[in-house]
Structure 1
Amino acid sequence: MQCAYFDAAVCGSCTLMGQSYDEQLAGKDRHARHLLAAHRTIEWMPPVASRETGFRNKVKMVVGGSQQHPTLGILDAGGAGVDLRDCGILQPGLRATFPALAEFIGLAKLEPYSVPRRRGELKNLILTESPAGELLLRFVLRTTEALPRIRKHLPALLERMPQLRVASANLLPEHKAVVEGAEEIPLTEQQTLTMEVNGIRMMLRPQSFFQTNTEIAAALYRQAREWVDEVGPSSVWDLYCGVGGFALHSALTDANSGAPGREVVGVEASAEAIESARLAARSMPGLRFVTSDATAFAVEHSGAPDLVIVNPPRRGIGSTLAEWLEGSGVRHVVYSSCNAQSLAKDLERMPSLLPVRARVLDMFPHTGHYEVITLLERR
Structure 2
Amino acid sequence: MVNFVVSKPENRFGFALYDFLEEVDSSSLLLSDGVADLNYGDIFQTLKKGFITETFDGIDYMITPNSFFQSNSEMALQMYRKILSLTRGRTLDLYSGVGSISLFAASAADSVTGVEVVQEAVDVAERNRENNEIENVNFICADAAAYVKENTGKFDTLILDPPRGGMEQKMLKYINEMAPERIIYMSCNPVTCRDDLKLLEGYNIDFLEAYDMFPQTPHVETLTLLTKK
TM-score normalised to structure 2 length? 0.89
Which residue number in structure 1 is paired with residue 73 of structure 2?
214
Change (3 A) 1:177 1:362: same
Q: Deviations over 1:211-268 (max 9, x none)?
A: 121111011101111111xxx31x1111011222211111123xxxxxxx52111111
Q: What amino acid sits opposite 1:167 in the alignment?
A: S
| 2:6 is the counterpart of 1:138 | no
After superposition, where does 1:63-212 map in structure 2 within 5 Å? 136-146=1-11, 150=15, 157=19, 161-174=21-34, 176-180=35-39, 182-187=41-46, 190-212=49-71
Q: What amino acid sits opposite 1:213 in the alignment?
A: N
CA apart distance, 1:301: 2.5
Which residue number in structure 1 is paired with residue 182 of structure 2?
332
Aligned identity (percent) is 28
| 1-structure distance, mates of 2:62, 2:223 | 23
After superposition, where does 1:357-368 map in structure 2 within 5 Å? 357-368=207-218
5+ residue gaps in structure 1? 1-135, 254-260
| 1-structure distance, mates of 2:188, 2:179 | 26
Higher relative contact order (CA 8 A, sep 6+): 1
CA apart distance, 1:199: 2.4
Two-structure CA RMSD over aligned residues (Å): 2.3
Which residue number in structure 1 is paired with residue 104 of structure 2?
249
Aligned with 1:350 (options 190, 193, 200):
200
Which residue number in structure 1 is paired with residue 150 of structure 2?
300
Contact 1:192 1:276 in 2 (8 A): no
Q: Deviations over 1:33-86 (max 9, x none)?
A: xxxxxxxxxxxxxxxxxxxxxxxxxxxxxxxxxxxxxxxxxxxxxxxxxxxxxx
Q: What amino acid sits opposite 1:321 in the alignment?
A: M
Q: Deviations over 1:284-331 (max 9, x none)?
A: 121111222211221122542111100111221232121212121311
| 2-structure distance, mates of 1:296, 1:366 | 38
Contact 2:54 2:61 in 1 (8 A): yes
SS in 1 for 2:208: strand
| 2:122 is the counterpart of 1:290 | no
| 2:180 is the counterpart of 1:320 | no
Which residue number in structure 2 is paired with residue 46 of structure 1?
none
TM-score normalised to structure 1 length? 0.55
Q: Which moved more, 1:305-314 or 1:342-351?
A: 342-351
Q: Which moved more, 1:162-171 or 1:331-340?
A: 162-171
Q: What amino acid sits opposite 1:280 in the alignment?
A: N
Which residue number in structure 1 is paired with residue 126 of structure 2?
278
5+ residue gaps in structure 2? none
Contact 1:204 1:243 in 2 (8 A): yes
Task: Find the structure with the greater CA-based Rg.
Answer: 1
Which residue number in structure 2 is paired with residue 265 of structure 1?
113
| 1-structure distance, mates of 2:40, 2:102 | 28
CA apart distance, 1:335: 0.5
CA apart distance, 1:371: 0.9
| 1-structure distance, mates of 2:29, 2:175 | 40
